[in-house]
Amino acid sequence: MKRGPITGKRGYEINADIAFKAVNPADYDILVISGGKGPEKMRLDKDALEIVKHFFKENKPVAAICHGPQVLVSAGVIKGRKATCWIGIRDDIIAAGALYEDSEVVVDRNLVSSRNPGDLFAFGREMIKLLN
Amino acid sequence: MKRGPITGKRGYEINADIAFKAVNPADYDILVISGGKGPEKMRLDKDALEIVKHFFKENKPVAAICHGPQVLVSAGVIKGRKATCWIGIRDDIIAAGALYEDSEVVVDRNLVSSRNPGDLFAFGREMIKLLN
């Protein structure tokens, strides 16, 4: 995926200031994977998956919400991990070997996950804790 | 899921003339599972999953396209089956034990699957063959 402006489904625009390919994951302290329709594209990007693998290999904080865990499934890092996600993909993370929990936030070592936008407060709280 | 009118994302309206709960699957010769955002809801409906299980148990034709195979994952019927799907959920059906193929249509006994709307001709052709 390229750098440059991206328009969300509600019309908000953000600027992707770096492409996955140009990222040196060693320069970053946390990886946050948001939800929506992005993860179904991101999971097909080999460079994105390499970033995810780096964070798990180095045991550095990863936070994923809603459809975000789809990227973790494709990176092969969710097996045996306690996690949650958007309920519509629950059976997919279970099939991939995750230990699914229906909680607003689930923390398993370096991994923080939440279900939906209503969980954002708990998601942010636990994410910040991992950074401290 | 209830009976009644449903409006698609492009504004087309169709009438769901029966709820999943009221369906007697023995009355039907084929099950067609379309794609889009519906399968993430349908896969959470126990009555829908019972319908899917009936078709596989009786070896009756099932056709699934795009995100449709998400419902097959949740019904626990895709393991060991040759199948295809929307590329964004490829890794999910693989995690669930499907033998993924990147073809316009894949036929494995009673199951016909396709990847996306561009495959509809082949999808329909193989679906009809199974009914003959």
Q: What are the chain B neighbours of A70 within 8 Å (beta carbons)?
A: 88, 91-92
Question: Mind listing the pLDDT tens digit for each residue in A82-125?
Answer: 999 999 999 999 999 999 999 999 999 999 999 999 999 999 99
Question: Is B91 close to A74, i.e. CB distance below 8 A?
Answer: yes
Distance CA B132, CA A129 (A): 61
Residue of A110, A35, A113 whose CA lies nearest to A102: A113
Query: Could you tell me what percent of chain A has a pLDDT over 70?
Result: 100
pLDDT at B8: 83
Best residue in A92, A102, A116 for a mutation probing chain B (most B CBs within 10 Å):
A92
CA distance B27 to A78: 41
Nearest CB to A73 within list B86, B87, B92: B92
DSSP-assigned states of every residue in A45-68:
-HHHHHHHHHHHHTT--EEEETTT
In whole numbers, what is the pLDDT of chain A averaged over residues? 96
B72 is written with which tokens? 């097959």
For domain A20-131, give the fold.
Answer: Rossmann fold (3.40.50)
Are the C-beta atoms of A105 and A64 separated by less than 8 Å? no
Q: Which residue of B has its CA nearest to A79?
A: B95
- ipTM value for the complex: 0.92
First to last CA, chain A: 30
Ranges under pLDDT 50 in chain B: none
- Measured between alpha carbons, how far is B82 from B99 in angstroms, rounded to an integer? 4
Is residue A9 very low, low, confident or very high in pLDDT (cuts 50, 70, 90)? confident
List phi, psi (to 5°) of B34: -85, 180
Q: Testing the interface with B: which of A46, A52, A77, A91 to mutate, by most B Cβ within 10 A?
A: A91
CB-facing half-sphere around the CA of B4: CA atoms within 13 A:
2
Residues 69-128 of B with CB under 8 A from A: 70, 73-74, 86-89, 91-92, 95-97
**Cα A19 to Cα A43, A115, B40, B58, B112, distances in angstroms:** 14, 27, 30, 49, 38
Question: What pLDDT is attached to residue A13?
Answer: 93
CA distance A104 to chain B (A): 19
Q: Give residue B39's pLDDT.
A: 97
Domain boundaries, chain A: 20-131
The architecture (CATH level 2) of B30-131 comes to 3-Layer(aba) Sandwich (3.40)
Bridge partners, B63 (sequence order): B32, B112
> CA B73, A47, B37 angle in degrees (round to 5)?
35
Task: State the Cα–Cα distance between residues A87 and B104, nearest whole angstrom.
Answer: 29
Cα–Cα nearest to B66, from B109, B105, B107, B12: B105
A44 lies within 8 A of chain B by CB: yes
pLDDT in tens, A54-92: 999 999 999 999 999 999 999 999 999 999 999 999 999
Q: Which residue of A has its CA nearest to B38?
A: A88
| Token pair for B94 | 């693989």
